[in-house]
């Protein structure tokens, strides 16, 4: 691994371990958004990671994002996912923001403001093209009306990117834009914290926009270019971060199961000596190893062959998230009653991992997209992939 990645990972690992040590035996609170953790990320410089170098970041390298998300997820799935969501906002502004938007928002986002990306709605599910929120021109302003749900960082967000229909005429079909809003915009209200199975420390909530008035220059990128912003900032970037959250959770589960299998003895024999337990360990090891390699390979190739980024990111997210659920499940089985009880963080990891198979695009819809791209290719992929095999 190149030195710059090692430095980023070391810094994230040190920070994650310090946060966990500070939190004490129960670990980082799983049910509350941690402003304290955000401050620590700001102090370490990692909160600005996705911003361009002139705004204290490293730009849109998905490997850097994945390394930080992975280390954070090993101690808190919620903190890691909040970081990924915030980073997707920085990434969208870096790629598509006007210079005024960058100058105004990126320093704030580096200094501790929290970003949220609001796309999904009650009637849209994972299909972004079904959103009904509208941004209508009113003189020199836009009026934003609609609502979004399950928005990561929603309760805490100071800076919001919202996908909206931007064209009231829709002569050539619907057109979508990404609108940049301050968290204090009049007309914006937020629901209570969503109460969920897991990932409850992400400040997730519903957001309602009642004729929120923003200057028309608050469109990020071109009017009608919203889907392109989503593709670059969410699919081709944040998906790698989300995959790394799954990998971090899975890796932590394996660690805990291995320790338990060595330390727990029955009739003088460690349970790790039992064949049934070993088979579970082998399966976990294979899934964690394969997820790690797939994620690094996919993130590397996405940079080198951007035309393949959607397939690579979708594949990495789908495989790592499904694998993490299986690994967490097996780890609980290895630790049995101790895994099921709250004395170990496994039950929490399991609930967090489950959410990553739904987050942004469900496993099924990712599968639909992946199959479409693979069918278009009309053949299996060469191995090793030419762009890696030539090294």
Q: Per CB under 6 A, does 150 bind ligand FAD? A: yes
* Helices and strands, counts by H and E, the chain: 12, 10
- # residues contacting ligand FAD (CB under 6 A): 21
Give min distance, CB of 87 to ligand FAD, in A: 12
Our finding on whether 117 is near ligand FAD (CB under 6 A) is: yes
Interface residue with ligand FAD among 53, 125, 215, 289 (CB under 6 A) is 125
Q: Is 118 in the site for ligand FAD (CB under 6 A)?
A: yes
**Sign of the C-alpha dihedral, residues 289, 292, 297, 302?**
positive
| From 90-98, 166-174, 295-303, 358-366, span contacting ligand FAD (CB under 6 A) | 358-366
Which CA distances in Å does 260 have to 75, 269, 289?
18, 13, 20
Contacts with 76 (C-beta within 8 Å, 6 or more apart), sequence order: 16, 19, 20, 27, 28, 30, 34, 37, 201
The gap between the terminal CA atoms of the chain, to the nearest Å, is 14
Please identify which residue in 9, 76, 147, 152 interacts with ligand FAD, judged by CB under 6 A: 152
Q: Are strands 115-118 and 159-165 parallel, antiparallel or unpaired?
A: parallel
Binding track, positions 315-354, relative to ligand FAD; x by CB under 6 A = ----------------------------------------
**Token pair belonging to 308:** 């393949």
Q: Which of 151, 235, 328, 334 binds ligand FAD (CB under 6 A)?
A: 151
Q: How many CB atoms lie within 10 A of CB 271?
A: 18
Nearer to ligand FAD, 271 or 347 (CB): 347
**Quick one: which segment of 145-153, 215-223, 243-251, 327-335 binds ligand FAD (CB under 6 A)?**
145-153
Q: Which is nearer to ligand FAD, 192 or 389 (CB)?
A: 192
| Interatomic CA distance for residues 112 and 138, integer angstroms | 32
368 near ligand FAD (CB under 6 A):
yes
**Residue 269, C-beta contacts closer than 8 angstroms, at least 6 positions apart:** none
191 versus 385: smaller Cβ distance to ligand FAD: 191
Of residues 154 and 272, the one with the C-beta less far from ligand FAD: 154
Residue 39 CA to residue 111 CA, distance in Å, equals 8
Phi, psi of 134 (to 5 degrees): -115, 145
Binds ligand FAD by CB under 6 A, chosen from 364, 372, 384, 386: 364
Q: Does 359 bind ligand FAD (CB under 6 A)?
A: yes
Could you tell me where the beta strands, DSSP code E, fall in the chain?
Answer: 115-118, 134-138, 141-151, 159-165, 176-182, 188-190, 205-215, 219-220, 265-266, 269-270
Candidate ranges 67-75, 118-126, 249-257, 373-381; the one touching ligand FAD (CB under 6 A): 118-126
- Please report whether residue 245 would count as binding ligand FAD according to CB under 6 A: no
Q: Are 163 and 40 in contact (CB under 8 A)?
A: no
b/e map of 44-65 (b: 16 or more CB within 10 Å)? bebbbbbbbeebbbbbbbbbbb
Segment interacting with ligand FAD, rule: CB under 6 A, options 64-72, 144-152, 221-229, 317-325: 144-152
Per-residue x/- marks for ligand FAD, 74-113, CB under 6 A? -----------x----------------------------
Contact, 227 vs 129, CB < 8 A?
yes
Report the residue number, 47 or 360, with the smaller CB distance to ligand FAD.
360
Choose between 15 and 199: whose C-beta lies nearer to ligand FAD: 199
Question: Which CB sits closer to ligand FAD, 41 or 353?
Answer: 353
Residue 198-237 contact track with ligand FAD, rule CB under 6 A, x = bound: -x--------------------------------------
Should residue 365 be labelled a site residue for ligand FAD when binding is judged by CB under 6 A?
yes
For ligand FAD, the binding residue among 362, 369, 373, 374 (CB under 6 A) is 362
Length of the chain in terms of residues written: 391
CB atoms within 10 A of CB 333: 16
- The Cα 330–Cα 317 span in angstroms is 20
Residues that bind ligand FAD (CB under 6 A): 85, 117-120, 125-126, 148, 150-152, 199, 355, 358-362, 364-365, 368
């Amino acid at each position: 691994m190149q030195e710059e990645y090692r430095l980023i990972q070391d810094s994230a690992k040190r920070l994650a371990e310090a946060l966990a040590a500070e939190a004490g035996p129960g670990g980082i609170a799983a049910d509350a958004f941690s402003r304290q953790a955000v401050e620590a990320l700001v102090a370490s410089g990692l909160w600005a990671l996705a911003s361009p170098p002139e705004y204290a970041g490293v730009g849109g390298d998905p490997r850097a994002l994945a390394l930080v998300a992975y280390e954070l997820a090993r101690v808190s799935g919620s903190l890691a996912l909040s970081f990924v969501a915030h980073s997707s906002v920085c990434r969208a502004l870096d790629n598509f923001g006007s210079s005024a938007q960058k100058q105004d928002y990126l320093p704030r986002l580096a200094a501790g403001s929290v970003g949220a990306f609001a796309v999904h709605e009650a009637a849209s599910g994972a299909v972004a093209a079904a959103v009904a929120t509208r941004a209508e021109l009113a003189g020199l302003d836009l009026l934003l009306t609609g609502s979004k749900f399950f928005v990561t960082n929603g309760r805490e967000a100071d800076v919001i990117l919202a996908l909206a229909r931007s064209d009231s005429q829709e002569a050539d079909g619907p057109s979508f834009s990404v609108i940049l809003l301050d968290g204090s915009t009049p007309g914006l209200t937020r629901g209570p914290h969503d109460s969920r199975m897991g990932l409850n420390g992400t400040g997730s909530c519903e957001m309602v926009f009642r004729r929120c008035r923003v200057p028309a220059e608050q469109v990020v990128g071109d009017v009608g270019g919203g889907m392109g912003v989503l593709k670059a900032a969410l699919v081709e970037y944040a998906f790698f971060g989300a995959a790394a959250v799954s990998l971090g959770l899975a890796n932590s589960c394996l660690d805990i199961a291995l320790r338990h299998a060595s330390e727990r003895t029955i009739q003088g024999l460690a349970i790790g000596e039992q064949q049934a337990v070993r088979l579970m360990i082998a399966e976990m090891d294979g899934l964690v190893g394969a997820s790690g390699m797939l994620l690094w390979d996919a993130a590397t190739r996405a940079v080198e062959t951007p035309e393949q980024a959607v397939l690579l990111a979708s594949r990495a997210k789908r495989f790592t998230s499904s694998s993490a659920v299986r690994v967490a499940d097996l780890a609980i089985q290895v630790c049995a009653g101790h895994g099921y009880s709250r004395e170990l963080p496994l039950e929490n990891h399991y609930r967090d991992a489950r959410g990553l198979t739904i987050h942004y695009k469900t496993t099924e819809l990712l599968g639909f997209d992946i199959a479409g791209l693979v069918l278009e290719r009309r053949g299996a992929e060469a191995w090793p992939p030419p762009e890696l095999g030539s090294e």
